[in-house]
């Protein structure tokens, strides 16, 4: 399925309408957030995080799956084990739904803001939270995205928040090198230019 940004925005808008009606706490992360705060890149799906708490995943998954179709076999069991629901929305756009349970994730959702995407308002995580998520994921393309966020949204970044939250998450993941890698980027010329 060939998608452009408009397809993803429309799909996210449909999801947002449904999830708001259902009273879910959520925001969009991933490629749409990168498009808003960093250097836009090709993305083929909508990525969102939805608050479930630990132990309450099943009712939230059941609610979500009334409006979504699974992309893999045993999609609900996979979601329970891996905390991500791999599905499609009504018009065939792929959707990854992260099942949020940590206090940071609830704070991230509550800090999210309604951002304009081609005259459509979407609830998107902020740039500081996006950096935290991307650094925690710690994949090569995540660091490319982080660099783009620093370049484009540097003055809006809350480095105190980033340091506090990421320190806890890096310890939890037992990957302290995440912190030093981010510090290197922060100290690089791109960060200095973004603060001017």
Residues 138-165, mean pLDDT to the nearest whole number: 95
Residue 194 pLDDT class (50, 70, 90 cuts):
low
- Packing angle of the helix pair 127-137, 30-37 (nearest 10 deg): 130
42-84 per-position pLDDT tens digit:
888 999 999 998 999 999 999 999 999 999 999 999 999 999 9
CB of 179 closer than 8 Å to CB of 131: no
Q: Is the pLDDT of residue 16 over 60?
A: yes
Amino acid 62: pLDDT:
95
What is the rounded average pLDDT of the residues 19-46?
A: 95
pLDDT(190) > 80: no
| Mean pLDDT for all residues in the chain | 93
Confidence of residue 196 (pLDDT cuts 50, 70, 90): very low
What does the radius of gyration of the chain's CA atoms come to, in whole angstroms?
17
Across residues 145-173, what is the average pLDDT? 95
Rounded alpha-carbon distances, angstroms, from residue 155 to 37, 95, 111, 129, 152: 11, 31, 17, 14, 8
pLDDT 10s digits, 96-141 = 999 999 999 999 999 999 999 989 999 999 999 999 999 999 999 9
Report the distance separating Cα 180 and Cα 102, nearest Å: 23
């Amino acid at each position: 399925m060939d998608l452009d940004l408009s397809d993803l925005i429309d799909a996210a808008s449909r999801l947002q309408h449904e999830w708001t009606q259902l009273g879910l706490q959520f925001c969009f992360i991933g490629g749409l957030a990168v498009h808003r705060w960093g250097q836009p890149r090709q993305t083929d799906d909508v990525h969102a995080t939805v608050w479930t708490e630990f132990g309450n995943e099943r009712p939230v998954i059941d609610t979500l799956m009334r409006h979504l179709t699974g992309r893999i076999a045993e999609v609900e069991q996979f979601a329970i084990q891996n905390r991500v629901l791999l599905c499609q929305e009504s018009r065939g756009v792929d959707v990854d739904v992260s099942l949020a349970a940590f206090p940071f994730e609830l704070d991230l959702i509550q800090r999210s803001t309604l951002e304009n995407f081609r005259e459509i308002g979407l609830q998107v995580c902020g740039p500081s939270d996006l950096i935290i998520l991307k650094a925690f994921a710690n994949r090569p393309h995540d660091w490319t995205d982080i660099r783009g966020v620093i370049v484009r949204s540097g003055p809006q970044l809350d480095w105190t928040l980033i340091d506090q939250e990421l320190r806890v998450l890096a310890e939890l993941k037992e990957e302290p090198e995440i912190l030093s890698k981010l510090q290197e980027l922060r100290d690089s010329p791109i960060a200095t230019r973004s603060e001017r």
